[in-house]
Amino acid sequence: MQKKILFFPYSAGCIWAYANQFEEVNQNYTLKEFFIEKSDPAQIVASLDNPKVFGFSAYIWNCNYSLKLAEMVKQRYPECVIVFGGPHVPSSNEDWMKEHNFIDYAVYKEGEIVFYNLLKRIKGLEHSTNGMGFIQDGKLNEQRPPERIQDLDQLPSPYTEGYFDSIVEKYKGTGVVLNPIIETNRGCPFKCTFCDWGGVTESKVKKFDMCRVHDELLWMAKNKLEFATGADANFGSFKDRDMEIVDFMIETKKKYGYPKYFHTSWMKNQSEHLVTMASK
């Protein structure tokens, strides 16, 4: 029997972990639950308890489902603020916002700082609207690009901060394979037309601290997660650093037995050291 594989909601986890470190958020908002399965939308709506904000991370594989669910949530809870982000949300598109008028806000490009400001806006606190779209007086608000996150060390890890512990407990013993996503750097120097990396995060590549990378891999291993998926656009582009990550994964697997598999997007330029990494 084929196992069901579910991904951790890494992007949503990062966005919440960043916002929740600020007092104006953690004193006014409480995270209820992450939904990671395409369950019957009616069942999800029935399980809700008067949500104030409902966020959706939209990509090609879940956008139609998410739009349907969002519309149903809005019908049941008209005061709930519906937020859509992710690569499938068209940037600065007034027609799209009007077509899906049950969406209150769109978040463009990197979401951490934008979503934090959005939560402050909802509470009437001082905020920036850079990187967010909403209909005001019948028109899309004045569009300003979000600021690029320069220092990735200001982003807490949703894994090591415990935001995904409830997901591990929920699916323990069910036969579901949970697939964590690990991001060791962010950005891409290329702008391939078939890809979202370069267009979403601009060109400059920023690196996460190696201690964070190690700690996340250890969290995955200790929770006996079989698969790990790399979110880097060009793994192997930083020869020594990425080789160290590969070696650490090998040592972690020897000690804990996990992760058993690692899948990533390799550096686009051919290089001999990539063969060494892949062989390892």
Give pLDDT tens digits along the chain (280 positions): 578 999 999 999 999 999 999 999 999 999 999 999 999 999 999 999 999 999 999 999 999 999 999 999 999 999 999 999 999 999 999 999 999 999 999 999 999 999 999 999 999 999 999 999 999 999 999 999 988 898 999 999 999 999 999 999 999 999 999 999 999 999 888 878 777 776 655 578 999 999 999 999 999 999 999 999 999 999 999 999 999 999 999 999 999 999 999 999 999 877 889 999 999 9
The CA distance from 158 to 173, in Å, is 22
Contact, 197 vs 233, CB < 8 A?
Answer: yes
Burial readout 122-158 (b: 16 or more C-beta within 10 A, e: otherwise): beeeebbbebbbbbeeeebbeeeebeebeebeebbbb
Whole-number pLDDT of residue 147:
83
| C-beta neighbour count of 22 within 10 angstroms | 12
Q: Is 187 left (phi over 0), alpha (psi -120 to 50) or beta?
A: left
Q: Distance between CA atoms of 97 and 139, rounded to whole angstroms?
A: 10
The first and second tokens of residue 13, run together, are 């986890």
End-to-end CA distance of the chain: give it in Å, rounded: 30
What are the φ/ψ torsions at residue 253 (nearest 5 degrees)? -65, -40
Q: Nearest to residue 233, comparing CAs of 190, 274, 279?
A: 190
Tokens representing 279 are: 């062989």
Contact assessment for residue 200 and residue 109, using Cβ atoms and an 8 Å cutoff: yes
* pLDDT for position 260: 94
Determine the pLDDT at residue 196.
74
pLDDT of the residue at 200: 58
Q: Are 186 and 213 in contact (CB under 8 A)?
A: no
pLDDT at residue 1, rounded to an integer: 59
- Contacting residues for 78 by C-beta, under 8 A, at least 6 apart: none
